[in-house]
Amino acid sequence: MPKGMKERIAFQQRKNQSSSQVPLGSLEDRVAFAKYKAVGDDTFVVDPIRRFDADAYPDHFQPFDIEVSWGNWIYVACPDATTKCSKCQRFPYHQGCVILSIDGKCEAPSQTPDKPRASMAVFFGHENIYNLAVEIEEERHTVQVAELKACIAALVKAIDLFQDEKKGRCEMDQTWPLHTLVIKSHSNYIVQGISEWLPKWKANGFKNCKGKPVANDSLWRLVDLWIRHLEVNAQVLFWLVPREKNIIAESMSAWVLTQPVSR
């Protein structure tokens, strides 16, 4: 395994197939942390490093090998695997470690005679009941707002997973106990924003380097809130991919904008 792979991904395999839960340990035990010093202050804001490092996989993995589609879910392939299954041609995957994809889209003013529309999509897997593709019902539409809304929707959907599992309504035989969520996006604004900018903004009272309020700060605060809520039970990582590697979520959000206006 490449150096640091276990620390970065912190996979936790299920030890007992008959058990519905396994001890996850403290967040500090599962995630590497970084400290960001507030400007003009001696205090520190400590946040986990939330970047999924696909480059840490061995050379025999192709980018598409990292995602293992099985049933209605997409799992993270085990980086220790050396060969694929001779029957399904997939690498072994980690139970309880799922990948979901997001996209937010906004029409350019030139694309519509009326005010631009926006949409968001969340993709958990083929025919998955948690998939989402809807129009964003707001007056102010920008690509950044749409992407943030999609991220928030994904986090809320993930929380629904935990709630449904506790109530016995979630059929995820290969997934529970869920311990790691990898959120895939081709938006640098989202992935870099969460993994690098957000801790610094928090340390500076959600002010940017010029001392001005961060754009879309209310949405960024919600992103931070829901991530921290999820991190009570699971690790949350964000994976930046090229646009062509996020085609399903992008197609879902694009499809919404081809439909008649809902309002």
Distance CA 206, CA 195 (A): 15
Q: What is the mean pLDDT of residues 116-121?
A: 92
Q: d(Cα 219, Cα 206) in Å, to the nearest integer?
A: 11
Q: Per-residue pLDDT tens for 60-92?
A: 888 888 889 888 999 988 888 888 776 777 787
Kindly provide the residue ranges of all beta strands, DSSP E only, lying in the chain, ordered along the sequence.
Answer: 33-37, 44-48, 67-70, 73-77, 93-106, 118-123, 132-135, 180-185, 235-240
Residue tagged 């519905």 (tokens): 20
Answer yes or no: is pLDDT of 199 > 70: yes
Looking at residue 111, what is its pLDDT? Answer: 59
pLDDT, one tens digit per residue, over 120-129 is: 999 999 999 9
For residue 262, what pLDDT is reported? 58
Give the bridge partners for 181, in sequence order.
Answer: 98, 236
Distance of CA 103 to the CA centre of its chain: 11
Q: What pLDDT, in 10s, does the model give residues 8-50?
A: 333 333 333 322 222 223 333 434 444 444 444 444 555 667 9
pLDDT-based confidence at residue 249 (cuts at 50, 70, 90): very high
What is the structure's pLDDT at 31? 43
- Which range is least confidently modeled, 171-180, 202-211, 251-260? 171-180
